[in-house]
Amino acid sequence: MFLSETDFVICDVETTGYSAGAHRMTEICMLKLRKGILVDSFESLINPQQYISPEITRLTGITNSLVHNAPVFPSIAEEVGKFLEGSVFVAHNASFDWGFVNEELMRGGVQRLSNNVLCTVRLARRLVPGQASYSLGKLTASLGIPLRRHHRARGDCEATADLFRLLLERAEETYDVSECEDLLALQRMQRTVRPLTKKARTMQEQIQEFPDSPGVYYFRNAHDDILYIGKAANLRTRVRSYFHPAAQSVRKIRTLLRRSTSVTYEPMETELHALLREAKLIRHHQPEFNSAMRRKKLFPFLRLGIENDFPRIEVTTEIANDGAEYYGPFRTFGTAELVLDIINRLFKLRKCPDDLRPRKDFSPCFYYDIHRCEAPCAKEQTQKEYLAETERVRQFLSSNRDNVIRQIETVMHQHAERLEFEEATYLRDRMDELRLIFEKPLRIDTAVTQQHYVFAMQDEYAKGKYVFFFVRNGQLRKTLHERAKESLRDILEKEIGEVFSQEDLNELSQEASREMRIVAGWVRQHREEGLLVPVQPEAPAEECAGSIYLSLTKGDLFPA
């Protein structure tokens, strides 16, 4: 089964001790991911019906009084079993969580589960080698993954979900893993040496002539048919990795090498150009070994469906030509989901996925009961009132950091005045995280289709010089490599004037949509390495050119 067709349930449990037979669970959280997106969740405190020691309380913060009125596990056992049905069970040190879940299920009268199990510790040892520690806290800190409320089920589960997404990307990028079977095998993979065939040795010799620069590469068969297309920041290093014993342990790569007779390449200007070229070539040739559903660094966006009479907001990985507005990309799915959750708490947009057809006799869902929606479905709210709420969401997403924080503080104080301390505490705890999200370059202050900027970074292949990417309406319009003996400031002014004086796009094609996602994701991935300067198309070109030039000459981001 393809990874894109597989449900993964990320799980974390807190317990009274370390033995699944002797001890009991005090808390469980499960997050169901499909195509990397959170589609469902389950969490609950649990009354373990046994004493929680002071040592466990110091570690988790879970006290005997906290779980006193919580449900006992047998009362939720059937619901937990159904949630896990048909999915791959994922956890950090999975044998611990899997053991407790199955022991509790059997005690609750539910048959032992037979799900496939994936351990992020074992997978990380394979894909992120050389770490001093593979504990969740130290590994996520090393990889820049936020970990909120460590040793509580929800906090650890969200961090594990982000870690799993990162590991999944690395498995696909490094070993071309596209099927669940190969991903499961990867965590158990032994680095056994397999002798290369004569054809493989011939291809290895071809690779020695490949450059250490960006490009796309092609594996071909004896009839010169293209079997596989890939991209690389370093062609020689990337293609050589296919012949490593570990890579050949993946069934797909082993089969690809057996059927290939040659490997060729096409040099590209930059890694970003290679990404864009690869995507276009795959759509055109549809090679057998390029899975149609293969992920390519899927950075999440928020989609605001303003094309609907009653817009919804949701997390997505695609930008479509559908009239909606897309905000992002976010660095991780957890970050996107955090902003979505904040919006759902601050504003009252509907959560139901159906096409809304309001009628008086309709029964509102529980979001109406908890004051998270004004029930336009039951005509408790007019379309005009609903669209006004939608506009407030757009203004929130378009605000700068200080305005966003002020809005949250206002709502936080309102909750406190109404003695709704849980909501007030939640918003208070999220403000520091949001400050970080909204202060970064390429922050979510405009819809992707309205993003105009110049991104500058050091040219890896011309030391001491820079490469400039001119992006208008979210699409790459021009690339400029700094040239010697010319006035950089004058060149920038000329190019900015030409690129940003073009007319806006009238219609967003599917091709342009794909390019926007690729460009935005790549810039998000490399934003710490460069300088991003927003451009107002109506502003003088010399103003923007001067801003870029001044930042470069300061040497803050580009030290000598």
- Using DSSP, state whether 475 is helix, strand or coil: strand
Long-range contacts of 316-325 (CB under 8 A, 24+ apart): 316/37, 317/35, 317/36, 317/37, 317/517, 318/513, 318/517, 319/448, 319/474, 319/513, 319/514, 319/516, 319/517, 320/510, 320/513, 321/507, 321/508, 321/509, 321/510, 321/512, 321/513, 325/394, 325/447, 325/449
Which of 442, 552, 553, 454 has the alpha carbon at shortest distance from 495?
A: 454
Is the CA virtual torsion 453, 470, 455, 230 positive or negative?
A: positive
CA distances from 209 to 115, 219, 384, 502, 557 (A): 46, 15, 65, 41, 34
Active-site residue identified among 151, 273, 415, 452: 151
DSSP 269-287: SSHHHHHHHHHHHHHHH--
Which of 178, 263, 184, 180 has the alpha carbon at shortest distance from 220?
A: 263
The verdict on whether 151 is a catalytic residue reads yes
Separation of alpha carbons 225 and 223, rounded Å: 5
Residues in the chain: 560
Please give the positions annotated as active site: 151
